[in-house]
């Protein structure tokens, strides 16, 4: 177990720093929409002093009700596909951009971090991600991570940051 003073591992911090540099180079600002990671992506970005020049903030929408009320995720999407789905994370990312007009980039995450809550179709470790660009496309991505709850969440944060980096490199 990590000491309380060490919030994130070195890989997460390095990728967060890379995202911040890419945001600055692209003159973009980011907003996050997180479920299973509970704000850890926004936390990794704001770990660095001065990150407010490109980081707007984040939404932690753990419940379906919050996903609907805050991000505009459709009840029909949740009913048909569930909270852990491509359709839901796409609406979360787009909803974050709609709610934060000054951001041009959004990343969203919804998954099953465990230890319970998994099923045959959606096992523990399944995490869906989406990145959205204002005036551009929204892309979803799925990963299945192994490990305990802490490990799944840390891997999800790192993957989300890498997805953002990949989108920003091509701007």
Q: Outline where the chain has alpha helix (H).
A: 10-26, 40-45, 64-71, 75-81, 86-99, 149-169
CA distance 134 to 102: 10
Q: Considering the domain boundaries, does residue 164 fall inside one?
A: yes
Q: Considering the domain boundaries, does residue 152 fall inside one?
A: yes
pLDDT of residue 2: 44
pLDDT in tens, 78-96: 999 999 999 999 999 999 9
Number of structural domains in the chain: 1
CATH number for position 129: 3.90.950.20
Q: Considering the domain boundaries, does residue 151 fall inside one?
A: yes
Q: Residue 35 sits in which domain range? A: 28-169
pLDDT in tens, 16-68: 999 999 999 999 999 999 999 999 999 999 999 999 999 999 999 999 999 99
Q: Considering the domain boundaries, does residue 15 fall inside one?
A: no
Per the prediction, the chain carries an average pLDDT of: 96
- 133 Cβ contact list (under 8 Å, min separation 6): 104, 105, 167, 171
CA distance 55 to 50: 9
Q: Considering the domain boundaries, does residue 16 fall inside one?
A: no
pTM: 0.95
Q: Considering the domain boundaries, does residue 14 fall inside one?
A: no
């Amino acid at each position: 177990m990590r000491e309380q003073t060490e919030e994130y591992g070195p890989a997460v911090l390095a990728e967060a720093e890379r995202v911040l540099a890419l945001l600055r180079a692209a003159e973009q600002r980011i907003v996050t929409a997180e479920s299973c990671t509970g704000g850890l992506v926004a936390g990794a970005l704001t770990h660095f002093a001065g990150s407010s020049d490109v980081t707007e903030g984040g939404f932690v929408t753990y419940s379906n009700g919050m996903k609907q009320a805050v991000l505009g995720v459709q009840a029909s999407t949740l009913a048909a596909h569930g909270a852990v789905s491509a359709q839901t994370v796409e609406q979360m990312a787009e909803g974050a951009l709609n709610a934060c007009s000054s951001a041009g980039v959004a990343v969203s995450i919804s998954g099953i971090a465990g230890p319970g809550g998994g099923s045959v179709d959606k096992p523990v470790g399944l995490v869906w991600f989406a990145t959205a660009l204002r005036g551009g496309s929204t892309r979803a991505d799925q990963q299945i991570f192994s490990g305990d709850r802490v490990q799944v969440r840390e891997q999800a944060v790192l993957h989300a940051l890498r997805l953002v980096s990949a989108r920003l490199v091509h701007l």
